[in-house]
Structure 1
Amino acid sequence: MTKKKPLVVVTRRLPDVIETRMAELFDVRLNHDDAPMRQADLIEAVKTADVLVPTITDVIDSAVLAQAGPQLRLIANFGAGVDHIDVQQALARGVTVTNTPGVLTEDTADMTMALILAVARRIAEGARVVPDDEWTGWSPTWMLGRRITGKRLGIVGMGRIGQALARRARAFGLSIHYHNRRRVSAATEQALEATYWESLDQMLARMDIISVNCPHTPATYHLLSARRLKLLKPSAIIVNTARGEIIDETAMSRMLEANELSGAGLDVFEHAPAVNPRLLKLARANKVVLLPHLGSATIESRHDMGEKVILNIQTFMDGHRPPDRILPSML
């Protein structure tokens, strides 16, 4: 007797090669028009699916999970962050949650380094000048940025991405400092020539560049609060490629408007896809660089993420522990 294929509902459009492979392996329902699902759509999906494959745009909260049918056994997230999923509620209902860690590390670290350079050297601003026909020729005092070599980089969150950023930043001559929930090994610190700060407050007050690379959890919501942002030097810049909720955007915007911060490079926003109007105004005034969540947006990353989703589903359906299972202790 042929084993019944699990019904897998995919909430967003994935790379063609991944969707084709899923169609071969599973009874799959795809989202061909790529429109983000409404809550009602997600509820209908969990009522019938054996496996749900959501993305960051899908809020899988207790209201959605309460409507899940008994056949829903796995939420195989397409992405590393799971702050849009009520993991505790899912596990309480016997639903396993997986993610796709590791495969987007290098791409996100690349984008973080790019944002540091873009803000410090005014790259985005300069890139607009030539096509807008505003360039009249070289001048020794025009559009001066800041040298990053010799500056102090404070990394908030020294996980995979934080460490990958540290490796890149060392090559640019930056001094590496970090704050993390747990201190990394002595061997890692030595390899990265990184200085650990137990006190986030003390680190922030002494850095030239701050990069946010920690996950969004209840404990990290507004970790860079209005009070902590005030500790930064007026010449400091902030880069965030993690989650927008980690920074108090309103407080940061006020400081940028008042020249109490030198600049910011943001790939994520507190209320995405909506962007704070104050940030938009600051971007038009060339005080911030804003990107539309491009951190992991490479062809290679999206393919690797899809392959991880497929592996997690296959392993789970074969009765084994999926390799990227999320546990409450990890959050």
Structure 2
Amino acid sequence: MDRPKVYVTRQIPEEGLALLRRVAEVEVNPVDAPVSRNELLKIVADCEGVIGLLTERIDAEFFDAAPKLKGYANYAVGFDNIDVPEATRRSMPVSNTPDVLTNATAECAWALLFAVARQVIPADRLMRSGEWPGWGPLQFIGGDVSGKTLGIVGAGRIGTAMARMSRGFNMPVLYTSSSNRRNEVLESELNARLVSFEELLEASDYISLHTPLNPGTKHLFGADAFVRMKPTACIINTGRGPVIDEQALLHALKTGEIAGAGLDVYENEPALTPGLAELENVVLLPHIGSGTASARADMAVLAARNLIAMLEGRKPETCLNPEIYD
């Protein structure tokens, strides 16, 4: 019996590839860069399964180019690159990789928060330059963290984990919910408060973004939002880049409307808005939120298990359109 053909659009940890190779013929993009759109559409023409990243657009054109396809697995928790309604219309299962990267991404948010608050990057740069003159009482004065108010925009898995990590710093926690649904974990453990978006902007010292990207959250943080924030506040984004209007952020950082920003994701990734890199009050990471050995390996295994289930006609563990199996 012929084994199904599977294409993986980027090299992922071997733990996932080894699982796939047990049941399928696996081809992996050998280059550490996104495959071009035209090349991708040619490659998937005879594939029964694909594992891809957020850089691939999975839409009607993609499905049309892959007549043998039995399923698509996203190697990511986000899935705004997938036209889920179109997949559902075609009864095509699609999946993502939630849960396994929750703590890694929450920890990355904290790394950004501290780096911004305590001016870690410019201080490190000065030390490496060999020009540090010695300790001075006015050098690199940053912001306090303990006792300051933490605002969580998007209190799902990662937002909840990030907030729970604040306990050691005795931070009051505010959170928003697009559905106005209470987060019982945060309220019972941290005495967190569900507030309006406007109140969160005005009261928070640190705002951490974990909301998914959709039409309602694109540019949620624009000029109006930054004006409402405290001039001493910092914004952290390990969620989805286009939630922030980067031109508005650039203006807010330059003019002192807010004190700082820590970004792991970008509006036009991998491109960076001109001017951000020159600012001392922003920390920029290359989308490493899930970048721990265990998280990346677990993502690969989950994506592989999902795809294997699809190939075998079973519902994947983290299916984005489970209704097609009803």
TM interval, shorter chain, is: over 0.9
Q: Does 1:181 align with 2:175?
A: no
Greater relative contact order, per chain length (Cα 8 Å cut-off, separation 6+): 2
For the structure 1 residues 133 and 205, does the alpha-carbon distance in structure 2 shift closer, same or farther, using more than 3 Å as the test? same
Per-residue deviation at 1:73?
Answer: 1.8
Counterpart amino acid of 1:13? Q
| Residue 267 (structure 1) aligned to one of 247, 261, 264 | 264
| Residue 311 (structure 2) aligned to one of 303, 317, 328 | 317
Q: Which residue of 1 aligns with 2:91?
A: 94
Q: Which residue of 1 aligns with 2:229?
A: 232
Q: Does 1:303 align with 2:300?
A: no
Q: Which residue of 2 aligns with 1:22?
A: 20
Q: Which residue of 1 aligns with 2:168?
A: 171
Q: Which residue of 2 aligns with 1:49?
A: 47
Counterpart amino acid of 1:306? A
* Inter-partner Cα distance in structure 1 for 2:3 and 2:178: 42
Q: Which residue of 1 aligns with 2:287?
A: 293
* Inter-partner Cα distance in structure 1 for 2:171 and 2:185: 19
For the structure 1 residues 45 and 88, does the alpha-carbon distance in structure 2 shift closer, same or farther, using more than 3 Å as the test? farther
Per-residue deviation at 1:53?
Answer: 0.6
For the structure 1 residues 287 and 102, does the alpha-carbon distance in structure 2 shift closer, same or farther, using more than 3 Å as the test? same
Q: Which piece of structure 1 moves more, 173-182 or 108-117?
A: 173-182
* Inter-partner Cα distance in structure 1 for 2:313 and 2:72: 15
Q: Which piece of structure 1 moves more, 182-191 or 115-124?
A: 182-191
* Inter-partner Cα distance in structure 1 for 2:152 and 2:213: 15
Determine if contact 1:148/1:173 at 8 Å carries over to the other structure.
no
Q: Which residue of 2 aligns with 1:250?
A: 247
Structure 2: where are the runs of 5+ without partners?
Answer: none
Per-residue deviation at 1:64?
Answer: 2.6
Counterpart amino acid of 1:33? V
Task: Compute the TM-score of the two structures, normalised by the length of structure 2.
Answer: 0.94
Structure 1: where are the runs of 5+ without partners?
Answer: none
Counterpart amino acid of 2:69? L
The 3-state SS of whatever aligns with 2:218 is coil
CA RMSD of aligned residues (A): 1.6
Task: Compute the TM-score of the two structures, normalised by the length of structure 1.
Answer: 0.93
Determine if contact 2:45/2:65 at 8 Å carries over to the other structure.
yes
Q: Which piece of structure 1 moves more, 247-256 or 183-192?
A: 183-192
Query: Number of matched residues?
Result: 322
Per-residue deviation at 1:45?
Answer: 2.9
The 3-state SS of whatever aligns with 1:184 is coil
* Inter-partner Cα distance in structure 1 for 2:178 and 2:322: 16
Q: Which residue of 2 aligns with 1:151?
A: 148
Per-residue deviation at 1:328?
Answer: 9.1
Determine if contact 2:159/2:210 at 8 Å carries over to the other structure.
yes
Q: Which residue of 1 aligns with 2:3?
A: 5
For the structure 1 residues 207 and 187, does the alpha-carbon distance in structure 2 shift closer, same or farther, using more than 3 Å as the test? closer
* Inter-partner Cα distance in structure 1 for 2:57 and 2:91: 19
For the structure 1 residues 314 and 68, does the alpha-carbon distance in structure 2 shift closer, same or farther, using more than 3 Å as the test? closer
Per-residue deviation at 1:270?
Answer: 0.2
Counterpart amino acid of 1:54? G
Counterpart amino acid of 1:52? V
Counterpart amino acid of 1:314? I
Q: Which piece of structure 1 moves more, 254-263 or 314-323?
A: 314-323
Per-residue deviation at 1:272?
Answer: 0.5
* Inter-partner Cα distance in structure 2 for 1:174 and 1:134: 36
* Inter-partner Cα distance in structure 2 for 1:84 and 1:328: 18
For the structure 1 residues 188 and 153, does the alpha-carbon distance in structure 2 shift closer, same or farther, using more than 3 Å as the test? closer
Q: Which residue of 2 aligns with 1:280?
A: 277
Per-residue deviation at 1:235?
Answer: 1.0
For the structure 1 residues 185 and 206, does the alpha-carbon distance in structure 2 shift closer, same or farther, using more than 3 Å as the test? closer
- Residue deviations 1:59-108, cap 9 Å, x none? 22333333331x11201111111111111112222211011110000000
Q: Which residue of 2 aligns with 1:326?
A: 320
| Residue 66 (structure 2) aligned to one of 65, 68, 76 | 68
Q: Which piece of structure 1 moves more, 175-184 or 291-300?
A: 175-184
The 3-state SS of whatever aligns with 2:163 is helix
Determine if contact 2:202/2:230 at 8 Å carries over to the other structure.
yes
